[in-house]
Amino acid sequence: MAGPPLVELRGLSRAFREGERERVVLRDADAVVRRGELAVLVGKSGSGKSTLLNLVAGIDLPTAGEVLVDGIALSRLSERDRTLFRRRHVGFVFQFYNLIPTLTVGENLLLPLELQGRATPERRRAALDLLDEVGLGDRAASFPDRLSGGEQQRVAVARALAHDPTLVLADEPTGNLDLETGLAVLDLLDRLTRRAGKTMLMVTHSPEVVGLADRVFRIEDGRLVERPAARATEERAVAVP
Amino acid sequence: MTPLLRRSGLRHLARHPWQAGLSVLGVALGVAVVVAIDLANASAQRAFTLSTEAVVGRTTHQATGGPGGLPEETYRRLVLAAGIDEAAPVVEDWVTVEAATKAAGKAASDSPRVLHLLGVDPFAEAPFRPYLGPGAAGTDVSALLTRPGAAVLAAGTARELGLVPGGSFTILAAGQRRRVELVGVLEPDDETAGRALADLLVVDVATAQELLGRVGRLNRIDLRLPDGAAGAELLARARRALPPGATVAPAGARAARTEEMTRAFRVNLTALSLLALICGVFLIYNAMTFSVVQRRTLLGTLRALGVTRGEVFALVLGEALAVGLAGSLLGLAAGVLLGRGLVGLVAQTINDLYFVLAVRELAVPPAVLVKGALLGTAATLLAALAPAHEATSAPPRAVLIRSSLESAARRALPRAAALGLALLALGALLLAVPGTLLVSFAGLFGLFLGAALLTPGATVLLMRLLRPAAGALFGLLGRMAAGGVVAALSRTGVAVAALVVAVSVAVGVGTMIDSFRGTVRRWLDASLGADLYVVAAGRPGAPLDPALAARAAALPGVSRVDAIRQAEVPSERGPLRVLAVDLDPRGRRSFELRQGRPAAAWRAVAAGRGVLISEPLASRWDLGVGSRLRVSSPAGERVLAVAGVFYDYASEQGAALMALPHYRRLWGDPFLSGFSLYLAPGADEEAVERALRRAAGPDRALAINPNRELRRRSLEVFDRTFRITAVLRLLAGLVAFIGVLSALMALQLERARELAVLRAHGLTRGQLWRLVTAQTGLLGLAAGLLSLPLGLALAAAMVHVVNRRSFGWTVRLDLAPEVFFQPLALALGAALLAGLYPAWRMARTPPAEALREE
């Protein structure tokens, strides 16, 4: 069921200088996420979840250790190459949606494709079909500020998948939504990524997501600990009658 | 950059219309001022070239004599003895068309119509000025030769004056009223020739001599010499055929020299116009920084989505390019309009100070427009470089904070201050060491940039000092206002810097003009001692009959007459303006010596052993007491010894003063240019004036000015000269004002949320208004305090360095008491005025709306 490793963390550490002293956010973390898995990252506020997500995206660089995505060590790439890597392989969903306010919903969706210079008519159509799938096919020409929070996040989900990335990173995608809307967005994310066989790493507080995850990681005092996932246990329970 | 990114950038501009609009306006105004000055200068130059071309034609060389011109037989000698086939005699002067004639035409303006009287031999003209030779369209050449007082005009000019062939009109020529008959009109084939001819009144040589009272004399002889050895041989022969004191020079030399005369004037205008553009650059920098800060989150998102740093940089520069192009285009249009207004002022100044020049229209050379557009766009891009760089440093994360920018700005303070100090020192050094005018302007710009870089640091220090006072006066709100200025230093620092530059320009240029005016006024008081001043009407400086001065001296009520002759004579260093005076020893008091001992100097002048030179001449040709200057005269080469240097503000070209008998001995020129009358105690000024006019006869047109009238007119010319400076100063101030307005708007809108939180906690509208106003007031206060030293330094540099290097004048720096309050009043006024709208807008925004905005 699970494929070969897509994301590998090897001895990953990240510390920040705060005046004279050093604050270690992540200490010697090791982990593997396989292709097609949904991995969630939980922990208290300020525990370093977003830092880990940024390290996996190549937005931030580790103090020690390495992040490998699809076998590529991100820290060995130049800043520009990491940006281009992200452009090609990563889709992002943020807590505050972060749609580009000066682009229409449709244009927001096409932006990642265009950045890659791969906006062929077929791909454009496919991207806009995604908008139908998130239920906003009629809103392509609207600007984001005309949409509700839930609608904006649905557009953000579609945008994260529009350019067919290998890895989807989501940073508390339901953190800013009410329970019902949040569940709808989660369902959408899960459905779309799983169907397309994408790998997703999500930071969340939501117990519902934890319930759906293949892997659950927790950050406690800078340590990354893997906890048994409910879904994995269920599957094993099914497999071993 | 992808089309979508570009579109998002342009939409950002469209969504913030006031921000984009003010930026465009700032660039537009800066470009407009530069273009307008350029066009005005270009138009004056073009008018000059056209009129030179019309008169010079295809002439290669010109033979000229001293002030008395050349004897007629020189022409015959050149043709017959030297064997030069292509030679044409010329008699010329400026004449004025009497108002009565003009009234018959369209009396559009009150200024008299000045025409260039050109006396030529039509049969010699064909190789030189084909439009004047036999067979020229519309001319009846024989009539020019046979009828006394016959003249031709360009058809358009005749129409303008309401004249038809066969009609006659009165002109003022060399102070005499003369009747001239229009025998034909010239119909030039093309527009260029038409414009060139518009100011010419063409007559036969003999007619010109009669009209100007110069029978037997020529002003010059135009020659056409072939290139190469044959030409050199002819030139040598021509030189041998000339009488002593006469010279042959290439035709272009004279035009080049005349143009050179106005160079300093033009450079000064250009430098002032660039100041407006510099204020515009501050504005753009501020606006672009704001637009970047405002979008840090957005830029961070783009970076997370895989937009590279280069693409973000290009995005911001692309927006700046759009602003720059829009502003430049608008500026070009406004510049042409403004140029129409300024060209009149520039032409007026050239006429007042240098030579007669009729600039009838605004020339719009494409090169000037291209230069203006490039300058505007380049300045905008330059101003956007730092914000664009700042944008690339936006970390690719969703949550970003402005405080990081502010702390970066705070960290950059010491570096900026050090660079500012270095630039100030460099600027001062450039001003202190001897150098050209351009070096002095480089020094001035160094001072400006240095001061601008020091401004943010100085603002922080000032706010620290003012915070307790603001707190004591306005309580917590006062302390918040002072703290807010420092907290948003990246914005407030630039706004204050722009205001400092504009206010110090206003104060510095104002002080320079006032000092200059004070110096000129004191000089006029000292040098104008006589009661009545007499010159030829129409063209001051036109020759007057010396017998008139003798008759004036004999009039009842006249105690003394001082005569003067102004002329241009050839010297080894180029043409030299000579003031030949017949001064009573009492009149010598009007010349204050800067160098040399008065008693000895005047003895040398009176004995014909030496001359006094004016300060601008001493500085232009680097002469002093003891220097010698070789001049050529009909009496042969002579050496003039400099016995003293006197203060003189009458001309920037400078002049040499010598005794009238000495001058007459050398150049044999009996005429006078003017004379002044000292009246006996109790004599009636008006009665003397009437008696003098009676003595002169009905045909002689004299301009007789009482002392106070001459003083008034002199200061009027002075004020007119600086009117264009005042316009430029105002425009630079306007750009800076827009800059401050834009910065304050940005600042207040950025704080909308913070202010809304305060409102939610119970801050009333009135209190909010006071908070915003206190903050803008503090910004103005800081700018005012900082502009005082810069303004004074600028004034001192303009008075002591730029002015000396441009014109060679000693000007005493006059510091009026209000100079010390003016910067504060200006800066405070501008800031408070600019703060009105943002304050009003913030007070009116419902807090809920501001709080809701993400």
pLDDT of residue B488: 78
For residue B320, how far is the Cα from the chain centroid? 32
- pLDDT tens for the 241 residues of chain A, in order: 568 899 999 999 998 877 678 888 899 999 999 999 999 999 888 888 888 988 998 888 899 999 999 999 998 998 888 888 888 899 988 888 888 888 889 988 888 888 888 888 998 898 888 899 888 989 999 988 889 888 998 899 999 988 889 999 998 888 878 888 888 888 888 888 888 889 999 998 888 888 888 999 999 988 999 988 766 555 444 433 3
Q: How far apart are CA B558 and CA B830, in angstroms?
A: 57
Q: Does B446 touch chain A (CB under 8 A)?
A: no
Residues of chain B with pLDDT under 70: 99-111, 133-141, 190-193, 195, 253-262, 264, 275-276, 279, 351-360, 394, 397-408, 539-540, 750, 846-854
CA–CA gap between residue B347 and residue A83 (Å, rounded): 60
The alpha-carbon radius of gyration of chain A (Å, integer) is 18
Which of B1, B2, B4 should be substituted to probe chain A, the one whose Cβ sees the most A Cβ atoms within 10 Å? B4
pLDDT of residue A239: 38
All residues of chain A having their beta carbon less than 8 Å from the beta carbon of residue B308 are 80, 83-84
* Contacting residues of B for A59, CB less than 8 Å apart: 303-304, 395-397
Residue A78: DSSP 8-state: -
CB pairs under 8 A between A and B: 82
Nearest CA-CA distance, residue A114 and chain B, Å: 7
Q: Taking an 8 Å Cβ-Cβ cutoff, which residues of chain A contact chain B?
A: 50, 54, 57, 59, 79-80, 83-84, 86-88, 90, 92, 94-96, 98, 100-103, 107, 110-112, 114-117, 171
Candidate from B12, B302, B304 with C-beta closest to A59? B304
Beta strands in B574-692 (DSSP E): 576-582, 593-595, 610-614, 628-633, 636-646, 656-659, 674-679
| pTM, entire model | 0.73
B385–A contact, CB cutoff 8 A:
no
Q: Distance, in angstroms, between B275 CA and closest chain A CA?
A: 36
Q: Given CB atoms, is B371 within the 8 Å cutoff of chain A?
A: no
Asked if the Cβ–Cβ distance from A54 to B397 is below 8 Å, we say yes
CA distance B853 to B440: 51
Give the residue on B whose Cα is nearest the Cα of A119.
B2
Q: What is the mean pLDDT of chain B?
A: 82
pLDDT of residue B175: 80
Tell me what pLDDT residue B497 has.
83
Question: Helices marked H in chain A — which ranges?
Answer: 49-57, 79-89, 105-116, 121-133, 149-162, 179-195, 207-212, 230-239
Alpha carbon of A43: minimum distance to chain B alpha carbons (Å)? 19
C-alpha distances in Å from residue B160, one per residue of B154, B180, B186, B489: 10, 16, 14, 62
Distance (Å, whole) CA B532 – CA B526: 15
**Contact: B304, A103; criterion CB under 8 Å:** no
C-alpha B256, offset from chain centre: 19
- Whole-angstrom distance, CA of residue B432 vs CA of residue B437: 12
CA distance B839 to B830: 14
Tell me the shortest Cα–Cα distance from B315 to chain A, in angstroms.
13
Set of chain A residues whose Cβ sits within 8 Å of the Cβ of B5: 111, 114-115
Which chain B positions have a beta carbon within 8 Å of A116's beta carbon? 306
* Per-residue pLDDT reduced to its tens digit, B809-854: 788 888 888 888 888 888 888 888 878 887 787 777 766 666 654 4
| Residue-level pLDDT at B346 | 78
Which candidate in B15, B311, B397, B404 is best for mutational testing of the A interface (most A CBs within 10 A)? B397
For β-strands B610-614 and B593-595, DSSP reports them as unpaired
Q: Is B15 on the interface with A (CB under 8 A)?
A: yes
Residue B307 C-alpha, separation from nearest chain A C-alpha, in angstroms: 7
Kindly identify which residue of chain A lies nearest to residue B3, measuring between CA atoms. Answer: A114
Q: Cα A139 to chain center, whole Å?
A: 24
**CB contact (8 A) between residue B4 and residue A87:** no
Contacts of B1 (CB under 8 A, 6+ apart): B311, B314, B315, B318
Phi, psi for A47 (deg, rounded to 5): -80, -15
Residue numbers in A near B396 (CB within 8 A): 57, 59, 83, 86
Q: Do B4 and A80 touch (CB under 8 A)?
A: no
Looking at the complex, report in whole angstroms how far the Cα of residue B391 sits from the nearest Cα belonging to chain A: 15
DSSP 8-state code for residue A135: T
Q: Do B4 and A79 touch (CB under 8 A)?
A: no
Residue B165 pLDDT: 87
Closest chain A C-alpha to B17 CA, distance in angstroms = 14
What ipTM was predicted for this assembly? Answer: 0.77
Q: Are B216 and B205 in contact (CB under 8 A)?
A: no
CA distance A216 to B337: 71
Does B11 lie at the interface with A, CB-CB under 8 angstroms? yes
The candidate with the shortest Cα–Cα distance to A75, out of A23, A27, A34, A14, is A14
Contacts of B17 in chain A (CB under 8 A): none
The verdict on a CB contact (< 8 Å) between B4 and A59 is no
Burial of B464 (0-12, 13-18, 19+ CB in 10 A): exposed
Tokens of A130: 């995604």
**CB-CB under 8 Å, A87 with B3:** no
Range list of β-strands (E), B471-539: 532-536
Instruction: Give the Cα separation of B390 and B413 in Å (integer).
Output: 16
Task: Determine, for residues A114 and B3 on separate chains, whether the beta-carbon distance falls below 8 Å.
Answer: yes
Handedness of CA B545, B550, B551, B556 (dihedral sign): positive
Is A112–B854 a contact, with Cβ atoms under 8 angstroms apart? no
